[in-house]
Structure 1
Amino acid sequence: MDDFFERVYQVACQIPVGRVTSYGAIARYLGTTRSARMVGWAMNKSSTYKVYVPAHRVLNSKGILTGKHYFGNTNVMQELLENEGVKVQNDQVVDFERLFWDPTKELELE
């Protein structure tokens, strides 16, 4: 499992500022389409990783901030996104499709 988390973190660290992706998109990129929930668990544990992982940029497939309760204060995830210019309304990223970063299109498979 640690190797999987490491690969998830390597992808998440490449999400550009002001862009967002989904748990499922990372899982698909890694060739583990059915492991979106495990990507979520990796994001939950990312604060213990050796480098900063921008977990606030990883959302569910509808752009909803489902992981916000893992940031301690429920507003932290939204604040981090808004500081990057991402508008959030009712716990959902506004213009999610336009801001969506798809690693399968943006990164070359390793």
Structure 2
Amino acid sequence: MSQDDFSQRVYWLVSRIPFGCVATYGQIAGYAGSPRAARAVGTLLRHALENVGDLPWQRVINARGRVSFKGDLGRAELQRALLEAEGVRFDDKGRCDLNTYRWQPREIFWDVD
């Protein structure tokens, strides 16, 4: 799979995450066919803020249920605020309950090709 194919799959998957749900970087990487590419998903989403219109980038968080900072506190605060506006709640340690909010696409979702 080329990098461009991977990018398109990531953007397509992220665009399908429903309002009020989250997915992890690793989850998206796995669904996109590259389960070890969680960091690449993060990089793509960081650049998507400038290049991909209505992509709900805020719905992708780390495996601990937290918003990832990576040196940009302003974007992290925005991401959390956007998620909270969708009804996603965080505990006092900054984690959301992945058992409650994690996106679980139905099997039929994968029949689309």
Q: Which TM-score applies when normalising by structure 2?
A: 0.81
Look up the match of 2:8. Answer: 6
RMSD, aligned CA: 2.2
Give the deviation of 1:108 after TM superposition: 1.1
Gaps of 5+ in 1: none
1:20 alignment partner, one of 19, 22, 46 = 22
Instruction: Count matched residues.
Output: 109
Tell me which amino acid in the other structure corresponds to 1:6: Q
Look up the match of 2:32. Answer: 30
**Percentage of matched positions with identical amino acids:** 34
Tell me which amino acid in the other structure corresponds to 1:46: A
Q: Does 1:79 align with 2:81?
A: yes
Q: Secondary structure at the match of 2:42?
A: helix
1:51 alignment partner, one of 53, 57, 65 = 53
Q: Secondary structure at the match of 1:56?
A: helix
Q: Deviations over 1:59-100 (max 9, x none)?
A: 11121111475574442111100100111233321x221110
Gaps of 5+ in 2: none
The runs of 4+ residues in structure 1 deviating greater than 4 Å are 67-71, 103-106
Q: Is the 8 Å Cα contact of residues 19 and 86 (structure 1) preserved in structure 2?
A: yes
Which structure's CA Rg is the greater one?
A: 2
Q: 1:50 to 1:65 in 2, by over 3 A?
A: closer
Q: 1:87 to 1:36 in 2, by over 3 A?
A: same
Look up the match of 1:92. Answer: 95
